[in-house]
Amino acid sequence: MAVREILLYPDPQLKVVSSEVTDFEGTELRDMLQDLEDTLDDSPFCVGIAAPQIAAMRRILLIDVSRSRKPVPNGGRLFLINPVVVESEGAILGREGCLSLPHLTANVTRAQSIVVKYNDRNGSEHTLASSEFEARVILHELDHLDGLLFLDRVSSLKTDIFRRKRY
């Protein structure tokens, strides 16, 4: 369909809680999924995107951690629709970036492993166990569905946020 413009902080839409997807039959969902893929593909270093980042206020995220140099358990492109974390374990600090804050990175503590229930593009329910980097990406994108940014998760605005040298 189209590469969509990424909403940039401080756009107020980034703070809106997204609505659940209920219609898995129509073209609206299919078009939105394609727009997310096209937009992700247009961002070569990006490993995830959430629908609210393209002003589509639905509970949809797309991850593709195979684009990372880090080893990942599931390692492919995956749409998670209406995702819910049902289990989480551990905590690990790691550096994150975001398409909506392209000039910043930050140290953020996230769960080390998670289990997520979600729907696929046909509405079928699945469960995904994830850990390490892949879990971090899912949790980061899931925050967007709840109107949160990584800035909301840092311990210290002074010591945990860094300006990118180039973006």
Which one, of 160, 158, 36, 161, lies nearest residue 101 by Cα?
161
Q: How far apart are CA 67 and CA 78, in angstroms?
A: 12
Which one, of 4, 118, 2, lies nearest residue 56 by Cα?
4
Q: How far apart are CA 68 and CA 106, in angstroms?
A: 18
The dihedrals phi and psi of 15, each to the nearest 5 degrees, come to -100, 5
- Cβ partners under 8 Å of residue 145, min gap 6: 17, 18, 50, 51, 52, 59, 60, 61, 83
Active site residues: 141
Report CA dihedral (116, 120, 123, 126) to the nearest 10 degrees.
Answer: -40
